[in-house]
Amino acid sequence: MTPATTRRKQSTSGPHLTVPVDEHRDHVAGKNTAPVTLVEYGDYECPYCGEAYPIVKQLQTTFGDQLRFVFRNFPLTQLHPDAEFGAEVAEAAGSRGKFWEMHDFVYENQKRLNDPAPFFEFARARLGLDGAAMQQEVAQHRNLPRIQEDFIGGVRSGVNGTPTFYLNGVRHDASYEFDVLAAAIRAASRGK
């Protein structure tokens, strides 16, 4: 997404999330009873998603149990050739119960996505996972159907760049700066 795209005004009549959040399918951080659900369609190589990553972490800390966060894959492979690898390695860790740990590691090491070795070493040394098995899973693209499912759901929901956020099912068309997103979360929690 371009910086200009991030400056659009908030719209409550904009595109809506067409694929509802599913606790069994989606990667969800936070309680399902939270009054606000923030869904991000993200690309692990996108520099704007990299900028949004610490903002989302800060929002999670600030709002605690009042916010549920969901991440969905939207790799823009024509612009970011290593984005799909990032999604695949995160999903491989996710199939072993360690999605969020790998998700964070990928964003924190975004500039190293062209070298797979550190990601599998992290899985082995820090997460206690079988790095070789994960490497094979990624090489065989076993998680690609799930990634493509996220992508198609994003397109149907009006995603045309990354990061794209939805608050309680409505696309957030304003900036993803902390103050703007925080104000939108507060408004959403009041039902406005």
Give pLDDT tens digits for 98-118.
999 999 999 999 999 999 999
**Per-chain mean pLDDT for the chain:** 93
Identify the CA nearest to 174 among candidates 53, 83, 52, 72.
52
Question: How much is the pLDDT for 17?
Answer: 96
Neighbours of 4 (CB within 10 A): 7
CA dist., res. 38 & res. 10, Å (int): 14
pTM above 0.75, yes or no: yes
Q: What is the pLDDT of residues 112-162, one digit of tens each?
A: 999 999 999 999 999 999 999 999 999 999 999 999 999 999 999 999 999
Q: HEC profile for 123-184?
A: HHHCCCCCHHHHHHHHHCCCCHHHHHHHHHHHHHCCCCCCCEEEECCEEECCCCCHHHHHHH
Does residue 7 carry a pLDDT above 50?
no
> Domain ranges in the chain?
5-189
pLDDT at position 39:
98
Give the per-residue pLDDT at 191.
Answer: 80
pLDDT band at 53 (very low <50, low <70, confident <90, very high): very high
CATH fold label, 5-189: Glutaredoxin (3.40.30)
Contact 87, 147 (CB under 8 A): yes
DSSP 10: P
